Amino acid sequence: MSTTRPYSPGDRGPEPSGASGASEGGAPEAGASAGGAAMPSDGSRRPRQERRLRLGGESGVVPLARDFTRQALYAWGWLPAASADQRAAAEDVLLVVSELVTNACLHAEGPDELVLACDNKVIRLEVTDRGSGQPAPRTPHRAGRPGGHGMFIVQRLCLDWGVVRTPGASGKTVWAELGAPA
């Protein structure tokens, strides 16, 4: 798993501005933006969809991030799940969001923003924070000890993950990608 590559193999990076599409299902929550259309019923390729949630200065950010992510999963057709595998894929996404946001709270002065981006193959989660540390799975991982499991869980559940830093700016963006349900 990568902790230095800013984008996973084959990823062309962030979409050009304005590529996220129109709002769906009404206005997004305060501090949130939404984009894209629901999954086509014929299984055809859909454009990349993106949603953003500002978290800086908010309280209760972990449940807020999970609720925001759950709403996106419903809008994008991941939920309600038609099979156990689809349900497990959605639960994995919610768990990884919880872990990334929690890590930003515990180790990085709190999260600033959560970005969710989805296409037919992958969902990409990004949590931006003001911290200078480098997330890494605790080595060796000791399953029986409390704490220190967050990045191990991210590493195990995700196709890939990494950290993006902007030169000359404080903070970082921790990203993770999970496969879309079959």
- Whole-Å CA distances, 30 to 21, 61, 89, 142: 18, 13, 27, 40
Predicted confidence (pLDDT) at residue 103 exceeds the cutoff of 50: yes
- Measured at the CA of 89, the angle between CA 176 and CA 17, to 5 degrees, comes to 45
> In which residue are the tokens 């084959």 written?
10
Predicted confidence (pLDDT) at residue 32 exceeds the cutoff of 70: no
Cβ-contact 81, 87 below 8 angstroms: yes
- Measured at the CA of 120, the angle between CA 180 and CA 69, to 5 degrees, comes to 55
Predicted confidence (pLDDT) at residue 31 exceeds the cutoff of 60: no
pLDDT band at 105 (very low <50, low <70, confident <90, very high): very high
pLDDT at 37: 42
- Whole-Å CA distances, 124 to 1, 69, 93, 116, 145: 15, 11, 9, 6, 29
Please compute, for residue 34, the number of CA atoms within 13 A of its CA located in the half-sphere on the CB side: 19
